[in-house]
Amino acid sequence: MRIWMIMSLLLISNGAFTTEHVVDIYKKKFIPAEITIVQGDTVIWKNIEKRQYHNVWFKQLEKEEPDYFFPDESYQRSFDKAGDFPYECGPHPRMKGRVIVIKK
């Protein structure tokens, strides 16, 4: 069984290379819990739980809690600005993660 995986794919977007990074959600954990990416990259959170729903809530960026996604579903977000972006799962606030975005 896949416990964690970081997968990077090169994509061409407007003539520039960007990378996709995968964060698995398994056993009520973000795996990896902290990820460092380059400005312009995309993070994809994949729910590989068997029964549990989750979300990815950047409270500093969003006032309202985002929609849930269920097993075998995913959520993605691109990061165009450098910075430190902590997040949590709304229904499971002990689940915490962080995206660190560095300049190109």
The Cα 61–Cα 54 span in angstroms is 18
CA 82 to each of CA 6, 32, 35, 79, 100: distance values in angstroms, whole numbers, following the listed order: 20, 19, 13, 8, 8
pLDDT (average), residues 1-30? 66
Tokens of 14: 């407007």
Taken in order of first residue, the domains within the chain and their CATH numbers are 9-102 (2.60.40.420)
β-sheet bridge partners, residue 85: 99
Q: Is-contact 55 45, C-beta < 8 A?
A: no
98's enclosing H/E stretch is: strand 92-102
pLDDT on residue 17 = 72
pLDDT at 41 over 90: yes
Examine the pLDDT at 92 and tell me if it is beyond 50. Answer: yes
How large is the greatest C-alpha to C-alpha distance in the chain, in angstroms? 40
The yes-or-no verdict on residue 10 having pLDDT over 60 is: no
